[in-house]
Amino acid sequence: MHIILLGPPGSGKGTQAKNIASEYGFVQLSTGDMLRAAGNSGSKLGLQLKAVMDEGKLVSDEIVIGIVQERIFQNDCAAGYMLDGFPRNLLQAKKLDTMLAGQNQQIDLVIRLCVNDEVVVRRIAGRRFHVASGRSYHVEFNPPENEGKDDLTGEALIQRADDNEDIVKSRLNIYREQTEPLVKYYEEKSILVTIEGMGTPNEIFAKIKVALAQHS
């Protein structure tokens, strides 16, 4: 299965991608994680990427498409993968289709998570991450056992620089303008399933499992 997880920041794409990965063995390909890793590399390009991401703006299509192209045809992706955070605009979506068609592949399912803006802002402002593992917490909804510390390693949790309220609002605007048109694009291909993304992560995952069973 080749799956796209579509939804605004804070809709739960990353959380659900981890659930799907552990249940089905599909690889999670998060362009945000890949770009953050590049951003932390200390190189000149890395610093430029980090500056763009910290402001909540989109990184150039050329860079992101290059990263995805290199990653999706690697051996571990043969059993299936989920794209989390890509594509984010029509150009990226079309480029992805061309890339896949060149290898006789296609996207099988687009899972769209719907949440309202108020919930997004609340979810994002309280998010905390353990960088090394990608484990995520929420100060209110899913707090760690010890404040500010990862449950398994005890290491410090961080808050993403782009997870503050002002930047989240601008990320939401970018989502509406550039990413939301993809809903129609994939609807027309009859591969889009929309899932109500309000509720607990387990409730949402249960709905995703039903969608996957229907489409596999």
Q: Annotated active-site positions, please?
A: 13, 88, 127, 160, 171
Residue 201 and residue 216: Cα distance in Å, rounded?
22
Phi, psi of 211 (to 5 degrees): -60, -40
Measured CA to CA, the distance from residue 86 to residue 188 in angstroms comes to 18
Among 17, 59, 172, 204, binds ligand AMP (CB under 6 A): 59
The residues in 5-34 that bind ligand AMP, with binding defined as CB under 6 A, are 9, 31-32
Angstrom distance (rounded) from CA 107 to CA 97:
8
Separation of alpha carbons 131 and 172, rounded Å: 24
Least distance (Å) between residue 33 CB and ligand AMP:
7
List the one residue from 52, 131, 161, 183 that touches ligand AMP (CB under 6 A): 52
Q: For 73, which DSSP code?
A: T
How far the first Cα of the chain sits from its last, in Å, is 8
Task: Tell me how far, at minimum, the Cβ of 137 lies from ligand AMP, in Å.
Answer: 16
Binding to ligand AMP, residues 72-111 (CB under 6 A): 85-88, 92
Please pick, from the candidates 1, 21, 24, 58, the single residue that binds ligand AMP as defined by CB under 6 A: 58
Interface residue list for ligand AMP (CB under 6 A): 9, 31-32, 35, 52-53, 56-59, 64, 85-88, 92, 162, 171
